[in-house]
C-alpha cells in the first residue's frame, strides 16, 4: 500500500518514494538545550517518532539524524539578540557546557518516558565547528556569501528563488521594513552564516574571520550533509521553523551544491494550552515533569496527542489528560483480556480482523492519520470475542503507537465510601481555607493507608 505524506515544499500529499528503497534518511531539527523542553516541544517529537514508526511498519530501515543545538541560536530565531545558551548560562550562573549537558539529559529523559525512539544519529553543534566552517567557506567561494564588520552573511538575491516554502514577497519588501541590526546587509532577508564574536563572548572559535561562532541555520545544513549526504529523504520540525530556519537551510544547500537537501519537508502543528499560547507570563508552560507530578504515566500524553492529526492545532487541557489516562488503562486491560482469551474465532471474525489491519495501515499511510488509526485500534480492543490473536494484532499496532500496551496497569481498587467521604470533606475544607481541618483529614487518609498529594488545582489520593 502506498504511503502518502504531506510535503510543505509542494503543499500536497505525495506518494512517498525514498531515494534508496532500503533505507530512509531523515533529518530532524533537535532541541536548543538552554531550558526544559515543554509538552509543546514533545508534541513535535511525538510526531517525528510516529513518522519513524510508520516507515518501519512499511518495512523501511531508517537512518535518522537529530541535532542538539548548543551554540548559535539567538533569542530572536534570526540574527538578533543574545545566544540562548549564553543567556541561560548567565541567568543560572553556570557555564554554557554545563547548561547544555544538563538540559540535554533532561530532554532524553523526557523522550524515554514517552517511549520515543532515539534517532540513530544524535549530533551536537559544537562537535561540528570544522564542518560548518568548511560549508561557509564554500558558500563564500561560490559567491553566495559576503563579509561585513559583524558577520558573514548569505546573499539571498543570488538565488533563483527565495523563499520557496512560503509565499513571502521578498522583492516588494520595502528596504528597512525589517529592523536591521547590521546596516551593511545587502538585502533585508540575508541571514548570518557566521558571527564575529564580541570581546567577552564565551563561545567562539578561530576562523578566517577571527574569533567567531556559527549561525543557527548552518549547523543543520552541515550536519545533515555530513551524516545523510547532500540530498536525503525527509526533513522534519515544528511549523515555526518553516519561514526562517528551514528556508535558510534550503538556501544554504542550494548555494553550496545547487540542491534542495530533502525531498519531503514535514512540519508538526503547535500545541495550545487552554486554546492559547503557552507562555511563561501566563504561567501555563507545562513540562512532562508536571504530568508525572500529577501521577499520570507520561505515555498518557502521547495517547492524548493521537486525538488530533499532527498538522492540526491540538488543545491541551488536564481534562483531556484525565480522559486519555482512562483510555490508556482501558486499552491495556483489553490487551490483557485478549491475551488470556480462548474464544474461537470463526471465518467471519478472521475476515473482520484482516479488514481492521488493512484499515489501520491505510490510516497511518494517509499522512499519519492517527485519530483515524486509533478508531481501528479501539475496534480491535473491543472485539467481542477474546483471543490471543487479537492481542498479537494490538501488539503489532503498538509498534506504531508506542504506548507500551503490554504494560500492566496499576489497577486502583475501588475506594470505600468512607474514604470518598473524607476526600469530599477535605475538598470543602480546602475551599474554605480551613487548613487545620484539611491537615487533620489528610492525616486521617494517610492513617487509613492512602497517599495524599496536593497540587495547585487538586488533590490526588491513591492507595499507598
Site residues, ligand AMP (CB under 6 A): 29, 31-32, 40-41, 43-44, 237-238, 240-241, 270-271, 278
Residue closest to 297 by CA, chosen among 317, 325, 271: 325
CA distances from 201 to 38, 154, 211, 336, 414 (A): 28, 23, 9, 58, 60
Q: Which is nearer to Zn ion, 26 or 452 (CB)?
A: 26
Residue 220 interacts, among Zn ion, ligand AMP, none and using kind-specific CB cut-offs from 5 to 8 Å, with Zn ion
Query: For the window 188-227, what string marks contact with Zn ion as x by the rule CB under 5 A?
Result: --------------------------------x-------
Residue 402 interacts, among ligand AMP, Zn ion, none and using kind-specific CB cut-offs from 5 to 8 Å, with none
Q: Which is nearer to Zn ion, 29 or 288 (CB)?
A: 29
Give, for 13, the enclosing helix (H) or strand (E): strand 12-15
Q: Give CA–CA dist 448/464, Å, rounded.
A: 9
Q: Give CA–CA dist 72/100, Å, rounded.
A: 13
Residue closest to 262 by CA, chosen among 275, 274, 253, 272: 253
Q: Give CA–CA dist 270/252, Å, rounded.
A: 26
Residues 27-56 that bind Zn ion (CB under 5 A): 29
Sequence-separated (6 or more) residues with CB below 8 Å from residue 406:
332, 335, 395, 398
Q: Shortest gap between Cβ of 29 and ligand AMP (angstroms)?
A: 6
Q: Shortest gap between Cβ of 41 and Zn ion (angstroms)?
A: 14
Q: Which is nearer to Zn ion, 29 or 401 (CB)?
A: 29
By the rule CB under 5 A, 151 interacts with Zn ion = no
Q: Give CA–CA dist 456/440, Å, rounded.
A: 19
Q: Give CA–CA dist 198/204, Å, rounded.
A: 9
By the rule CB under 5 A, 100 interacts with Zn ion = no
Query: For the window 107-146, what string marks contact with Zn ion as x by the rule CB under 5 A?
Result: ----------------------------------------
Q: Give CA–CA dist 107/122, Å, rounded.
A: 12
Q: Which is nearer to ligand AMP, 44 or 150 (CB)?
A: 44
Sequence-separated (6 or more) residues with CB below 8 Å from residue 295:
453, 460, 462
Q: Which is nearer to ligand AMP, 32 or 252 (CB)?
A: 32
Q: Which is nearer to Zn ion, 158 or 217 (CB)?
A: 217
Residue 278 interacts, among Zn ion, ligand AMP, none and using kind-specific CB cut-offs from 5 to 8 Å, with ligand AMP
3-state class (DSSP) for residue 403:
coil
Give the binding range for Zn ion (CB under 5 A) out of 24-32, 272-280, 336-344, 438-446.
Answer: 24-32
Q: Shortest gap between Cβ of 377 and ligand AMP (angstroms)?
A: 24
By the rule CB under 5 A, 234 interacts with Zn ion = no
Q: Give CA–CA dist 372/120, Å, rounded.
A: 29
3-state class (DSSP) for residue 298:
coil
3-state class (DSSP) for residue 22:
coil
Yes or no: say if 105 and 70 are a contact pair by the CB < 8 Å rule.
no
Q: Which is nearer to ligand AMP, 40 or 72 (CB)?
A: 40
Residue 271 interacts, among Zn ion, ligand AMP, none and using kind-specific CB cut-offs from 5 to 8 Å, with ligand AMP
Q: Which is nearer to ligand AMP, 203 or 287 (CB)?
A: 287
Given the rule CB under 5 A, which residues bind Zn ion? 29, 220
Amino acid at each position: 500500500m502506498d504511503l502518502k505524506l504531506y510535503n510543505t515544499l509542494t503543499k500536497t500529499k505525495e506518494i512517498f518514494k525514498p531515494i534508496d528503497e532500503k533505507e530512509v534518511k531523515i533529518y530532524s531539527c533537535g532541541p536548543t538545550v538552554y531550558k526544559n523542553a515543554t509538552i509543546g516541544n514533545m508534541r513535535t517529537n511525538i510526531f517525528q517518532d510516529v513518522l519513524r514508526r510508520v516507515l518501519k511498519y512499511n518495512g523501511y530501515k531508517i537512518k535518522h539524524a537529530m541535532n542538539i543545538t548548543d551554540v548559535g541560536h539567538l533569542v530572536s530565531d534570526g540574527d538578533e539578540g543574545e545566544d540562548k545558551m549564553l543567556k541561560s548560562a548567565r541567568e543560572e550562573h553556570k557555564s554554557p557546557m554545563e547548561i547544555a549537558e544538563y538540559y540535554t539529559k533532561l530532554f532524553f529523559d523526557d523522550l524515554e518516558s514517552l517511549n520515543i525512539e532515539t534517532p540513530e544519529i544524535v549530533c551536537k553543534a559544537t562537535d561540528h565547528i570544522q564542518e560548518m566552517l568548511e560549508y561557509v567557506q564554500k558558500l563564500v567561494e561560490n559567491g553566495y556569501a559576503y563579509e561585513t564588520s559583524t558577520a558573514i552573511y548569505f546573499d539571498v538575491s543570488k538565488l533563483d528563488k527565495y523563499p520557496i516554502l512560503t509565499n513571502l514577497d521578498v522583492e516588494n519588501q520595502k528596504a528597512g521594513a525589517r529592523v536591521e541590526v547590521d546596516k551593511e546587509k545587502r538585502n533585508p532577508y540575508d541571514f548570518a552564516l557566521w558571527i564575529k564574536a564580541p570581546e567577552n563572548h564565551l563561545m567562539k572559535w578561530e576562523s578566517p574571520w577571527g574569533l567567531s561562532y556559527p549561525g543557527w541555520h548552518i549547523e543543520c545544513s552541515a550536519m545533515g550533509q555530513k551524516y545523510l549526504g547532500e540530498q536525503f529523504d525527509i526533513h522534519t520540525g515544528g511549523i515555526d521553523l518553516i519561514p526562517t530556519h528551514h528556508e535558510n537551510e534550503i538556501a544554504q544547500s542550494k548555494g553550496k551544491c545547487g540542491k534542495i537537501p530533502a525531498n519531503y519537508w514535514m512540519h508538526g502543528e503547535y500545541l495550545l494550552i487552554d486554546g492559547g499560547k503557552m507562555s511563561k507570563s501566563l504561567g501555563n508552560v507545562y513540562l512532562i515533569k508536571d504530568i508525572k507530578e500529577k501521577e499520570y504515566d507520561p505515555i498518557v500524553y502521547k495517547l492524548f496527542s493521537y486525538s488530533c492529526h499532527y498538522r492540526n492545532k491540538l488543545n491541551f487541557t488536564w481534562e483531556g489528560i484525565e480522559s486519555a489516562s482512562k483510555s490508556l488503562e482501558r486499552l491495556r486491560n483489553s490487551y490483557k483480556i485478549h491475551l488470556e482469551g480462548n474464544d474461537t474465532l470463526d471465518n467471519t471474525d478472521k475476515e473482520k480482523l484482516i479488514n481492521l489491519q488493512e484499515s489501520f495501515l491505510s490510516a497511518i499511510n494517509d499522512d499519519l492519520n492517527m485519530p483515524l488509526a486509533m478508531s481501528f485500534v479501539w475496534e480491535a480492543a473491543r472485539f467481542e470475542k477474546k483471543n490471543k490473536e487479537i492481542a498479537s494484532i494490538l501488539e503489532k499496532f503498538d509498534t506504531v503507537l508506542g504506548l507500551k500496551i503490554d504494560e500492566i496497569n496499576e489497577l486502583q481498587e475501588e475506594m470505600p465510601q468512607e474514604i470518598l467521604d473524607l476526600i469530599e470533606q477535605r475538598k470543602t475544607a480546602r475551599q474554605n481555607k480551613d487548613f487545620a481541618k484539611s491537615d487533620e483529614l489528610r492525616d486521617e487518609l494517610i492513617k487509613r493507608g492512602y497517599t495524599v498529594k496536593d497540587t495547585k488545582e487538586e488533590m490526588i489520593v491513591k492507595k499507598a
